[in-house]
Amino acid sequence: MINKEEKREYRKVSNYEVRQLQDSNMTEITGYIAKFNSVTELFEGFFEKIDPHAFDNTLADGHNIFLLYHHDWSKPLASTKIGTLQLNSDDVGLKFTATINNNISYVKDVIELINEGLVCGCSFGFCCINDSSEYNSQDDTITRTLLEVELSEGSLLCIPAYEDTEVFARAKMIEKEERDKLQKQKSLEIRKKKIEIELELMN
């Protein structure tokens, strides 16, 4: 059985809009959890982009998706189940609108950090269901395309390069897996070509 915690990955985007709702204790935050077809270099030689339909199934299945502070499950800000988090895909990416309650103590801290500019972007946690990889032999790079993901949460945070060393290790593991897979494909293609040549010589 696949351990989803071990398979969970994180990606980041920056910029969102914050506005205080009039005559209420609620704050609305709008932005993008992910942007489509935007190539990002996760580390040297390994690039990634998100297919525009990558979130279609995960949004349609109706499971609860959270907005968190810094990927901390003890600090939820909004969720799709209770209607305080709306998610929809457009031409740019996966857009979110969250309505969060200022009366919650840590929410006050988050709003203050946003106003100070210390919290200034988003990240999201997901498990990859389906992907594809393309190897460029000219510059020895791999571009991975996320075709389908299972989204668990989006987060407001200060956008570190990686969430922690475990995420970096997971990213490196993905690179090795993709390189091994591409190498096997290359070996099979070479073997197939050799067999075709041998068959031609026999005829």
Q: Is the pTM of this model over 0.85?
A: no
Domain boundaries, the chain: 4-202
pLDDT at 85: 96
pLDDT at 12: 64
Identify whether the C-beta of residue 93 lies closer than 8 Å to the C-beta of residue 32.
yes
Residue 49 and residue 129: Cα distance in Å, rounded? 15
Under 8 Å between Cβ of 146 and 38: no
Cα separation, 131 vs 177, whole angstroms: 12
Q: What is the pLDDT of residue 174?
A: 63
**Nearest Cα to Cα of residue 131 among 116, 148, 143, 119:** 148
In the prediction, which pLDDT does 135 show?
A: 83
Return the pLDDT at 15. Answer: 67
Q: What is the mean pLDDT of each run of 10 residues along the chain (203 residues)?
A: 56 72 83 87 83 96 93 94 95 92 91 84 87 85 91 83 46 66 73 74 71
